[in-house]
Amino acid sequence: MPQPNPRPRTTVAVIGLGSIGGVVAGCLAHAGRHDVVACVRRPLARLTVERPEGTIDVPLTALTDPQRAEPVDWVLLATKAQDTAAAGAWLTRLCRPTTRVAVLQNGIDHAARVAPFIGAATAVPIMVYFNGERLAGDRVRMRHVGTAADMEAPDDAGGRAFAELMEGTMLGVRLLADFKTQAWRKLLINAVANPVTCLTLRRQEVLRRPDIHALCLAVLEEAAAVARADSAAIADDEPARTMERLLGFAPGLGTSMYFDRLAGRPLEVEALTGAIVAAGERLGIATPLNLALLTLLRAVSDAAAT
């Protein structure tokens, strides 16, 4: 009796092998269902991912020159939002009209951010919840956090295709009918966890201080007002619920801004606090506390860039 044709292998390029890209690339390579290539600055032959389910060590094909890249079925953009333009050469080479580009970045404007670089390819916004930490150029650590899934995608053709892509990786994907509201909820988490840990140089245990907790609630009230004006279905008690969720995370967890400051790298400030302030200005909502945080974060980021 003829055997059914095996599922064709999908070609996947991961741009950025940091805390997020390293975890996703390693898990995809370990699952063995796809042909995975990493687009990186420095060559590497293997990648180690420390996971709660057990450490994996996988061989990994890596490219360091965009001119050697060929179009693929999927591009997973895992750079920081501020590095999107720097990844433009990779995106242009890797994309064809049938390519899907999963944007694994913070913020609320995923598709608009990559539109100048991907031509007729389709952008798929993805929200990432797992905690990743880059330990070395070829080693990352991943922790699940207290959410229903490790990543979330819109419940449309692109999101469903992404969920299928991630099958077998131990990274759960949840599909959302109202992705915009959830993107704002994720931004609310980042609106306080990232700036506060970065500016205090303390991990998430600092959010347990009563004075810091009160400041975070005030910052979140501003951001929630902007989200509602942007047509997101944000409840009146969302700030309190956001803090409750953050306090449920392990106090020893860091944030991307925290790790970037420790490493002396520029911060992902414009996609987070900057996005809230910009949306507030556009929609006529005052955000003085967020603006104060933005000013301080820009000063820290500019110092790292010099």
Residue 2 pLDDT level (bands cut at 50, 70, 90): very low
| Three state DSSP letters for the chain | CCCCCCCCCEEEEEECCCHHHHHHHHHHHHHCCEEEEEECCCCCCEEEEECCCCCEEEECEEECCHHHCCCCCEEEECCCHHHCHHHHHHHHHHCCCCCEEEEECCCCCHHHHHHHHHCCCEEEEEEECCEEEEEECCEEEEECCCCCCCEEEECCHHHHHHHHHCCCCCCCEEEECCHHHHHHHHHHHHHHHHHHHHHHCCCHHHHHCHHHHHHHHHHHHHHHHHHHHCCCCCCCCHHHHHHHHHHCCCCCCCCHHHHHHHCCCCCCCCCCHHHHHHHHHHHCCCCHHHHHHHHHHHHHHHHHHC
Q: Which of 275, 103, 288 is nearest to 188 (CA)?
A: 275
Give the percent of the chain with pLDDT over 90: 85
Can you give the pLDDT at residue 279? 96
Query: Given this model, what pLDDT does residue 162 score?
Result: 98
Q: What is the pLDDT of residue 304?
A: 83
Reported confidence tier of residue 289, pLDDT bands at 50, 70, 90: very high
pLDDT in tens, 18-58: 989 999 999 999 999 999 999 999 999 999 999 999 999 99
Choose between 300 and 2: higher pLDDT: 300
List, for residues 213-267, the tens digit of each pLDDT value.
999 999 999 999 999 999 999 999 999 999 999 999 889 988 889 999 999 999 9
7 pLDDT tier (thresholds 50, 70, 90): low
Give CA–CA dist 256/136, Å, rounded. 15
The answer, yes or no, to whether residue 186 has pLDDT greater than 80, is yes
pLDDT at 300 over 80: yes
Q: The pTM is what? A: 0.85
Beta carbons within 10 angstroms of residue 302's beta carbon: 12
Q: With cut-offs at 50, 70 and 90, classify the pLDDT of residue 6.
A: low
Please say if the pLDDT value at position 146 is more than 60.
Answer: yes
CA distance 61 to 306: 33
Q: How far is residue 284's CA from residue 214's CA, in Å, rounded to a whole number?
A: 25
Query: Which residue has 């302030």 as its token pair?
Result: 277
**Does 5 score more than 90 pLDDT?**
no
In the chain, the domains with their CATH numbers are 10-177 (3.40.50.720), 180-305 (1.10.1040.10)
pLDDT at 293: 98
The catalytic residue positions are 186
What average pLDDT does this structure show over 145-156? 87
Q: What integer pLDDT is reported at residue 3 of this predicted model?
A: 46
Number of Cβ within 10 Å of residue 170's Cβ equals: 16
Q: Report residue 186 as tokens.
A: 């994720």
